[in-house]
Chains A and B, each alone.
Chain A
Amino acid sequence: MTIDFTFKIGGEAGQGLQSIGYALSKAFAKGGLYVFLNQDYESRIRGGHTFVQVRVRNEPVYTLSEEVNMLIALNKETIDLHKNELVKSGAIIFDGDKIPIKAEDSYYSVPLEKLALEKGGSKIMINTVATGAAMGMLDYDFNLLADVLSEEFGRKGKDVVESNVKAARAGYDYAKENYRGKYDFTIRSLGSSKRMFLNGGEAISTGVIVAGCKFMAGYPMTPTSPILEFFASKARDYNLVFVQSEDELAAINMVIGAGYVGVRAMTATAGDGFALMVEGLGQAGMTETPIVAVVGQRPGPAVGLPTRTSQADLLFMIRAGNDEFPRAVFTPGTIEDAFWLTIKAFNIAEKYQIPVIILIDQHLADSYRTVDRFDLSKVKIERGEILSEEQIRAMGLYNYKRHQFTESGVSPRAIPGTPGCLVVTDADEHNEEGHIIEDAETRTKMVLKRLKKFEGVKKEMEPPKIYGPEDAKITLIGWGSTYGAIREAVDTLRKVGIDVNMLYINVVWPFPKDEISSVLSKAEMSFVIENNATGQLAYLIKSETGREVNEKILKFDGRPFSPTHIVKEVKEKVKG
């Protein structure tokens, strides 16, 4: 039996919708089902309208669905705003004592507050009752939910666990007793699972620590503050140093200081915060200091829509900074890529002594998915050439040159503090020793030396992946978090006989020029799909390959793409 079931949980900020979505997701994940969770919230702590969507499938799921099967409404506004998204046989769960609506078809009233008070002993339990009720409606294995609640609340003690389980049970029983039969959709567990359930921000945060990053400085900004918080929370266990800096300028410069000393170091911010870090990016380029920056896009310019999603900083990342220096820009679109590219970012940064940017967005950062556990035995740490004390001694006292000219452009690093060597570098143009210079010849050689490193960086990159048949007539091109939506659109379109594939770009710089050129030369029609208003990838493709994509599907309202949206637009353009 195929399962493709979407919950939408809506209410005000502060009502704890996330906890409902998260508990449902975890319970399904434990039962071997595949889950995708995305969040939509406003830049406020209380009130307003916010929702969480949980999509459950019996096969891998990469994106959200616009069709809602069950709406869990914690206020009336949720019903007004979203009832039209409900499928024909869908269900709305609400508290009839609180929201005076006639319980007609599709409307299932559960006395959430009453049960929370009676069985859980507190209004706080409304969420747990609602979670239980949703599971009861679907006749899902209650024990799996109980397991999740014990894990979630275990730290708060046995009593808290017990009252939560009781509250969930009350909701579960109420829904089952009153509505099973009338509502007959069922979700069954597929057996136990060993999958992780995490969001893009957490995947990066994990990758950061696995990669051996020991120093992070940052200034909080949505959507990447959780990356700072995660690192800070692990500082004691993993011997890390986190500094909440006074501003973004300090953050990136602290990271440069730590990187110069030989520690893997990074910062995380949003596009707007990165605007303040741009001079520092150049400093990393000039002093050839390895640094990693995670940049979470949100709509702008300036502050824009702080809690929403966007892909409008692509060209900014590639060009940010005065003058020319090599860098890499990674654009992961999946949880797996978020993890693995983070590790690669540190390797590339150190091997080539360049800044590496991991460009994500709110949608990737905040959306959760079930994925296979990362295999840490596959992690490779590559630090590039770092001279040992013996090697330094062999060079003779103070003969080490930080910016020595080499074939590859990469000069061996030394750790400041190593006896017998001095590590000298400068934001000004400098000579091989790292001292300030003015002469034209050295300047020219240094520029070429730095740029030369990019040749090596290019060779390290894997070609972008194609999803679907290589030789499809139509190619949909995306980068970053649109991966899931485009992928599912490809599946849907192929089912109705449209010959389409996807080209997914997860490293946008160095630009995979040859691969893109070759795909475009084969396709009869091509689309870029981007969360920006001008088609920045299309512009880049044109300037790098000389080829023009035929169509752009653009969305810049701060909301992520759905597969349905893409399918509809592709169909229209293909017919037209």
Chain B
Amino acid sequence: MVTLKDYEGGPTAWCPGCGNFSILLAVKRALVEMNLEPYQVLIVSGIGQAGKLPHYMRCNTLNALHGRDVPEAIGAKLANHELKVIAVGGDGDGYGEGGNHFTHAILRNIDITYIVHDNQIYGLTKGQASPTSDKGFVTKTTPEGVISLPFNPIALAISLGATFVSRGFAGEVDHLVELIKKAVQHKGFALVDVLQPCVTFNKLNTWEWYRKRVYKLESIDYDPTDRTLAFQKAFEWGDKIPIGVIYKSDRPTFDEQIPALKYGTLVKQKIDPLACEKILDEFM
């Protein structure tokens, strides 16, 4: 049996009270509950406070560049589709620097899980506005308040045909564990956007602020396979913020549709130069 101890990692460098601790716990618990051994799991993380997550646990880890965790995760998944590949990053990492990769990963429906620690701020670089910062939010780089509209990952993902779109909250660990499990078990690209209080730099979206607003979709009569309804929930932000699986659908995954991968993982394919004589024939 796999236990939490198997996933125990080194000391953390996050601020006391940071929402990241609960996310770390939820990830570990989810993996344990799915009885996955650390060697079966690959976490590809970005750069930022969120990106440090795999260093504080124990599993295969590819800590990628800022915003490039998703493409590195895609390459890894295609090279060995038997690995459970989870990409982890911040809101700036995934929705700003990596925005183009995020959209195309959804379109491909590549079979990876993507967990975004969404604290609506740049934590590691000490408090600048992020793509998900609310309009009007005053930060060091937006002394007059944020001018542009906030990035809506949920609505975007649904509109692009994502097959698993969810939102969690660092203050609801049990709920988050279930979400992560569902996301990992989902076949296809699975987004888990996690509301994560940054106690040091985001004095607006605090634990209290989120706690007052979030409610679980599981607690109401809600059908996540209804796209129209999902869109409505995607735009619900203010007094009430839904958490849970917002949208779910079925579509063949990218990896599943690649002929080469039907014969096992790429990493196990033999290298045989002599099998290439036929290519030379083409030039004769």
- A interface residues (Cβ-Cβ under 8 A, vs B): 194-198, 202, 206, 209-212, 214-215, 217, 234-241, 243, 245-247, 249-251, 253-265, 279-280, 283, 287, 373-374, 376-377, 379, 381, 398, 415-428, 434-436
Q: Is B220 interfacial (CB-CB < 8 Å)?
A: no
Looking at the complex, which one of A235, A243, A417, A419 makes contact with B82 (CB distance below 8 Å)? A417
Chain A residues near B101 (CB, 8 Å)? 246, 249-250
Shortest beta-carbon distance from A403 to chain B in Å = 12
Choose the segment among B181-189, B211-219, B238-246, B261-269 that binds chain A (4+ C-beta atoms closer than 8 Å).
Answer: B261-269
Chain A residues near B47 (CB, 8 Å)? 427-428
Query: What residue in chain B is nearest A435 (Cβ atoms)?
Result: B55
Looking at the complex, which one of B10, B65, B267 makes contact with A283 (CB distance below 8 Å)? B65
Chain A residues near B83 (CB, 8 Å)? 261, 416-417
Q: Is B144 interfacial (CB-CB < 8 Å)?
A: no
Q: Are A436 and B260 in contact (CB under 8 A)?
A: no
- B interface residues (Cβ-Cβ under 8 A, vs A): 10, 37-40, 42, 44, 47, 52, 54-55, 58-65, 68, 71-80, 82-83, 100-101, 103-104, 258-261, 263, 266-267, 269, 271-280, 283-284
Looking at the complex, which one of B10, B52, B260, B284 makes contact with A196 (CB distance below 8 Å)? B284
The secondary-structure label for the interface of chain B is: helix
Looking at the complex, which one of B42, B63, B277 makes contact with A426 (CB distance below 8 Å)? B63
Shortest beta-carbon distance from A26 to chain B in Å = 10
In order of increasing CB-CB distance, the 7 nearest A-B pairs are A257-B75, A212-B271, A254-B75, A261-B79, A253-B71, A426-B63, A257-B76
Chain B residues near A258 (CB, 8 Å)? 75-76, 78-79, 266
Q: A241-B261, A243-B74 are in contact. List 12 more A-B contacts (CB 8 A).
A: A196-B284, A209-B276, A211-B273, A235-B258, A238-B276, A240-B260, A249-B68, A253-B75, A254-B78, A258-B79, A376-B276, A426-B63
The listed residue with most A CB atoms (<10 A of its CB), out of B68, B263, B269, B283, is B283
Chain B residues near A254 (CB, 8 Å)? 71-72, 74-75, 78
Q: Are A424 and B52 in contact (CB under 8 A)?
A: no
Q: Are A262 and B79 in contact (CB under 8 A)?
A: yes
Q: Are B39 and A283 in contact (CB under 8 A)?
A: no
Q: Are B78 and A241 in contact (CB under 8 A)?
A: yes
Complex Cα distance, B235 from A568, in Å, reads 72
Chain A residues near B278 (CB, 8 Å)? 237
Known: A263-B266, A381-B273. A434 touches B61 (CB 8 A): yes
Looking at the complex, which one of A241, A379, A418, A428 makes contact with B266 (CB distance below 8 Å)? A241
Shortest beta-carbon distance from A383 to chain B in Å = 8
Count contacts between A and B, CB distance < 8 Å: 203
Known: A196-B283, A376-B280. A257 touches B72 (CB 8 A): yes
Query: What residue in chain A is nearest B39 (Cβ atoms)?
Result: A419
The listed residue with most A CB atoms (<10 A of its CB), out of B38, B64, B259, B272, is B64
Q: Are B267 and A241 in contact (CB under 8 A)?
A: no
Q: Are B65 and A424 in contact (CB under 8 A)?
A: no
Q: Are A250 and B104 in contact (CB under 8 A)?
A: yes
Chain A residues near B52 (CB, 8 Å)? 436
Q: Are A435 and B284 in contact (CB under 8 A)?
A: no
Shortest beta-carbon distance from B254 to chain A in Å = 9
Q: Are A202 and B260 in contact (CB under 8 A)?
A: no
Q: Are B75 and A376 in contact (CB under 8 A)?
A: no
Looking at the complex, which one of A194, A239, A287, A376 makes contact with B277 (CB distance below 8 Å)? A376
Chain B residues near A421 (CB, 8 Å)? 39
Complex Cα distance, B7 from A125, in Å, reads 69
Chain B residues near A217 (CB, 8 Å)? 75
Chain A residues near B261 (CB, 8 Å)? 241
Chain A residues near B73 (CB, 8 Å)? 257
Complex Cα distance, B82 from A192, in Å, reads 51
Chain B residues near A379 (CB, 8 Å)? 273
Chain A residues near B65 (CB, 8 Å)? 253, 279-280, 283, 427
Known: A246-B101, A264-B271, A398-B38. A427 touches B276 (CB 8 A): no
Shortest beta-carbon distance from B206 to chain A in Å = 28
Q: Are B61 and A426 in contact (CB under 8 A)?
A: yes
Query: What residue in chain B is nearest A212 (Cβ atoms)?
Result: B271
The listed residue with most A CB atoms (<10 A of its CB), out of B60, B103, B266, B267, is B60
Chain A residues near B283 (CB, 8 Å)? 196-198, 202, 206
Query: What residue in chain B is nearest A256 (Cβ atoms)?
Result: B72
Known: A196-B284, A256-B72, A283-B68. A265 touches B60 (CB 8 A): no
Chain A residues near B71 (CB, 8 Å)? 245, 249-251, 253-254, 257
Looking at the complex, which one of B61, B64, B76, B269 makes contact with A261 (CB distance below 8 Å)? B76
